[in-house]
């Protein structure tokens, strides 16, 4: 029986540093993963794996993939991350079976973006090091695809180590009809304002905003999206002091994350808003001292996850005298993580 799946990932192979050159002899491989190993490069012989469909180098130290990878015409999933930035500048377009790319670091000249336009079957695209001057090229390439997931990702370590001058880069994509198929969208970077085309994405299920520096509350623009199930606003995505979930808004939303919003000090939930919400996470919001007003109306809320919130916040909902404990006593599972419990397991209280 020829070997078709080879997974070096996770703890049992965490000490793997080098990949043998004869890897290319395993010509029947369809799935190859080095996830969570310590490899820094892949051998040129990888170009011999003509049947390979998935290559996973996430959570490794791979920073360059040999151009021989362009010979893998059956490859569908090319998976890396910001620690293993994938650089296939001028040969990516020949890999026409690709459906998923995570995460592709854009070169300064944007050559790799032009190559993306040749990938007609691409459904899931995550890119890093996006610059404003890449906008037109990216739009042209996206127009050739039927994307279901798009992540424009600008991690802080890339700004600091590689492109410190990019701190003021702005993501400013115009509306494209080709985005109408997108179900998952993540914008990680500064925005002039919330793009007015986002609420038009009728099929959008998951939306994440990070590092956006929005001064206006984005909720009013998003509240009527018909199929939105997950919303994450984090890492200075919003720099205002108040968030207001208007009456009747976000009817289908099931999961909400509000994380590291440094100026936020009050959250209001109107009657009938967040009607279907099952999970709410509040994390590292240093000026939020009380639970969202109106949380008591969230009848379907099953999990309230509180992580590294101010001492006053935790005291206000304590089950031994917290003045606002009554507002969350209907929630079956309240999870609290703080510095006193770390690195111990999270404390979990279940309200009967």
**pLDDT single digits (tens) 200-217:** 999 999 999 999 999 999
Is residue 121 in some structural domain?
no
pLDDT-above-90 percentage for the chain = 62
Q: Which residues share a beta bridge with 234?
A: 210, 259
Is residue 147 in some structural domain?
no
Indicate the number of domains in the chain. Answer: 1
List the alpha helices (DSSP H) in 143-226: 156-161, 219-222
List CB contacts of 344: < 8 A, sequence separation 6 or more.
Answer: none
Nearest partner of 144 among 109, 179, 171, judged by Cα: 179
Residue with tokens 């000249």: 109
For residue 157, is pLDDT > 70? no
pLDDT of 299 = 97
Residue 300 burial by Cβ neighbours in a 10 Å radius (0-12, 13-18, 19+): exposed
Is residue 201 in some structural domain?
no
Is residue 296 in some structural domain?
yes
Range name among 35-49, 167-181, 220-234, 288-302 with the lowest pLDDT average: 167-181
Range name among 37-41, 83-87, 236-240, 348-352 with the lowest pLDDT average: 348-352
Cis omega (within 30 of 0) for bond into 241:
no
Tokens of 161: 């180590």
pLDDT of 1 = 87
Range name among 18-27, 159-168, 265-274, 329-338 with the lowest pLDDT average: 159-168
Q: How many CB atoms lie within 10 A of CB 339?
A: 8
User: pLDDT per residue over 158-172, tens digit each?
Assistant: 443 344 444 556 777
pLDDT of 92 = 86
The mean per-residue pLDDT over the stretch 91-102 comes to 92
The mean per-residue pLDDT over the stretch 300-314 comes to 97
Q: Average pLDDT, whole number, for the chain? A: 88
pLDDT of 192 = 86
The mean per-residue pLDDT over the stretch 44-51 comes to 95
Is residue 124 in some structural domain?
no
Is residue 266 in some structural domain?
yes
Is residue 249 in some structural domain?
yes
pTM (global) more than 0.75? yes
For residue 28, is pLDDT > 50? yes
The residue segments making up the domain with residue 242 are 218-352
Is residue 254 in some structural domain?
yes
Nearest partner of 213 among 191, 198, 233, judged by Cα: 191
Tokens of 16: 């793997």
Nearest partner of 63 among 84, 79, 34, 36, judged by Cα: 84
Cis omega (within 30 of 0) for bond into 103:
yes
- Provide the terminal-to-terminal Cα distance of the chain, rounded to the nearest Å: 55
The mean per-residue pLDDT over the stretch 144-164 comes to 67
Do 62 and 35 meet the contact criterion of CB atoms below 8 Å apart? no
pLDDT band at 344 (very low <50, low <70, confident <90, very high): very low
């Amino acid at each position: 029986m020829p070997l078709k799946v080879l997974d070096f990932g996770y703890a049992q192979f965490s000490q793997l540093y080098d990949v043998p050159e004869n890897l290319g002899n395993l010509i029947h491989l369809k799935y190859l993963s080095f996830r969570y190993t310590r490899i820094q490069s892949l051998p040129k012989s990888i170009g011999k794996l003509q049947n390979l469909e998935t290559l996973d180098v996430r959570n490794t130290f791979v920073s360059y993939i040999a151009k021989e990878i362009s010979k893998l015409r059956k490859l569908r999933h090319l998976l890396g991350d910001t620690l293993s930035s994938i650089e296939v500048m001028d040969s990516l377009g020949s890999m026409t079976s690709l459906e998923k790319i995570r995460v592709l670091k854009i070169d300064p000249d944007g050559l790799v973006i032009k190559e993306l336009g040749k990938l007609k079957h691409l459904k899931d695209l995550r890119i890093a090091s996006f610059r404003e001057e890449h906008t037109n090229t990216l739009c042209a390439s996206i127009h050739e695809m039927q994307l279901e997931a798009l992540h424009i990702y600008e991690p802080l370590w890339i700004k600091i180590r590689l492109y410190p001058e990019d701190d003021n880069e702005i993501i400013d994509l115009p509306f494209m009809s080709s985005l109408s198929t997108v179900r998952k969208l993540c914008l990680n970077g500064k925005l002039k304002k919330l793009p007015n085309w986002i609420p038009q994405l009728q099929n959008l299920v998951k939306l994440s905003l990070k590092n956006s520096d929005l001064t206006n509350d984005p909720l009013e623009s998003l509240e009527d999206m018909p199929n939105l199930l997950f919303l994450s606003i984090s890492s200075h995505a919003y720099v205002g002091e108040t968030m207001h979930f208007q009456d009747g808004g976000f009817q289908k939303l099931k999961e909400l994350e509000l994380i590291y919003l440094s100026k936020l000090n009050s959250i209001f939930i109107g009657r009938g808003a967040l009607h279907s919400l099952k999970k709410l996470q509040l994390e590292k919001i240093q000026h939020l001292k009380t639970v969202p007003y109106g949380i008591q109306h969230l009848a379907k809320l099953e999990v309230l996850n509180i992580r590294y919130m101010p001492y006053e916040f935790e005291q206000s909902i304590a089950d031994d005298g917290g003045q606002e404990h009554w507002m969350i006593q209907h929630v079956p599972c309240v999870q609290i993580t703080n510095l006193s419990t770390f690195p111990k397991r999270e404390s979990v209280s279940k309200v009967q």
